[in-house]
Structure 1
Amino acid sequence: MPEDAREMDGKRRADVSAKSVSGEADAVSAEGGNILAARAEALALTALEWGRAAWPTFTLVASFGGWYYFSIAFNIYQKALLKAVPMPWTVTALELLIGSALVAATWGVRLKRAPECTSDMIKAVGVLGTVHFLGNALTNVSLGKVAVSFTHTVKALEPVFSVGLSAAFLGAIPSLALCASLIPIIAGVMIASATEVSFNMAGFLSAMGSNLTFQSRNVLSKMFMKGDEMKKLDYYNLLGVLTIASTVIAIPVALATEFSKMTLANVTAGGMPIQTVGFNLVMAALCFQLYQQLSFSVLERVNPVTHSVGNSLKRVIVIAASVLIFRNPVSATNIGGTALAIFGVILYGQVKQREGAKKSA
């Protein structure tokens, strides 16, 4: 073979070999890219699945945190407001009015679909709204008369009223264990009341009246919520229609009881500027709506007993925060009584949970 032909054949072989090597390199590169892409896709899917699994826990923790935070904020703003402007019925009416405006705005912009109200629903909501208003108003009367910590200590008696009213109107006879769990609650509130520096009979009786009305609302809700129309209401819309119904009742009651006090001089007599009064009123109303909504949000995600225990712990945090912020004096005996009452509420919740588990077994 001539020299030139031999050289050309060598070049062809070299080119073929180079192309072969290049092709193999490309194949290896493509395979590596596919492996990396597959791994990235697997990691993305894992992260997505983890996110989906963690989301319910995250929302529950966020709901609990928001519920506690806005409860504390509401009590702080409300106590400061009522201390400067001792008009609890008017404050309650205005806060419910602000809450009603928020509910109407939510329905108006279609963030939430407004419920279709029937005549039966209006009757039920009218009764529940009246009790809802009285419960909130009496709580505000108590907050204006005594320390926040004492109001919430007395309100730890809610289970006692719940058991009594359920037995009287729903025929739910409590067990001996359930009755026994009420003893530390009653004893704790008695000890705390006897040693409370800010004790005031009007404040004490108002807190007791709030317990009665709120637990009456719960019993009435069980009776009225059996209707098909009422069952269509979710927690948000139930709170919304109760807020609006409460406002309709609260405004004439406020005018009848405190109209003579509704002057600029009376509103600012406590030394709080009118701008601060307005700010505290709006903030208290917003926090009130938010903590109630988040309370319902928690109730949608946990069983009622867990919610009850969470509410007891929330009360502990509110009491502690109010003592730190308002610096109201408390004795060791007073703290012991409050702790005993809260312990009783938690014990009551545990007994209820065990009895509920036995019934469902």
Structure 2
Amino acid sequence: MCLAATAARALKSVLQGILLSSEGEKLNSMNLLLYMAPIAVLVLLPATMIIEPNVLSITIALARQDPKMILYLLFNAVVAYCVNLTNFLVTKHTSALTLQVLGNAKGAVAVVVSILLFRNPVSVTGMLGYMLTVIGVILYSEVKKRSR
């Protein structure tokens, strides 16, 4: 499943890069987001209802207990919108590969922060994986610098 998710994520990024840089398409980041958001809802909403059938009732109950829950959800939606728009802009101005490398670097940074703040344990295998990720990001940066 992890391999399939990684391949699907990479395919999505490559297709975004093609759509954003193609002379024939003339799509900008906002238009691409406008087209992709409804498709994501159509795919994710049924999956959510199957995997978490009571999520809507729980959310309504939480909103009744704490009216701030609606603000939290709206804030989450705004942040998700900004993340997607930023991803599209990074893809347009760099490349799909750069976006993937940045995503891997972000994951490694998140793990280091979680270790420092929350003292989360990490196995030796996990640590080796994160070190390999950081080395890959550094090597990619060096190759990009030299190619300019």
How many Å apart are 1:240 and its aligned residue? Answer: 2.6
Q: Is the 8 A contact 2:101 2:137 kept in 1?
A: yes
Q: Does residue 1:246 correspond to 2:40, yes or no?
A: yes
Partner of 2:49: 255
Q: Which amino acid aligns with 2:43?
A: I
Q: Is the 8 A contact 1:309 1:349 kept in 2?
A: no
Q: Is the 8 A contact 2:105 2:137 kept in 1?
A: no
Q: Does residue 1:291 correspond to 2:83, yes or no?
A: yes
Q: Does residue 1:212 correspond to 2:4, yes or no?
A: no
How many Å apart are 1:311 and its aligned residue? Answer: 4.1
Percent of paired sites with the same residue: 23
Aligned residues: 144
Q: Which amino acid aligns with 2:10?
A: Q
What is the alpha-carbon distance in structure 2 between the residues aligned to residue 282 and residue 312 of structure 1? 27
Distance 1:285 1:324, change over 3 A: farther
What do residues 40-97 of structure 1 show as CA deviations (whole Å, max 9, x unaligned)? xxxxxxxxxxxxxxxxxxxxxxxxxxxxxxxxxxxxxxxxxxxxxxxxxxxxxxxxxx
1:322 paired residue among 114, 139, 145: 114
Which blocks of at least 5 consecutive residues in structure 1 are unaligned? 1-204
Q: Does residue 1:237 correspond to 2:31, yes or no?
A: yes
How many Å apart are 1:317 and its aligned residue? Answer: 2.5
Structure with greater contact order relative to length (CA < 8 Å, sep ≥ 6): 1
Output the aligned Cα RMSD. 3.9
SS of corresponding position for 1:329: coil
Instruction: Tell which structure's C-alpha radius of gyration is larger.
Output: 1
How many Å apart are 1:299 and its aligned residue? Answer: 4.4
Which blocks of at least 5 consecutive residues in structure 2 are unaligned? none
What is the alpha-carbon distance in structure 2 between the residues aligned to residue 243 and residue 316 of structure 1? 27
Distance 1:300 1:220, change over 3 A: closer
TM-score by length of 2: 0.64
Q: Is the 8 A contact 2:49 2:55 kept in 1?
A: no
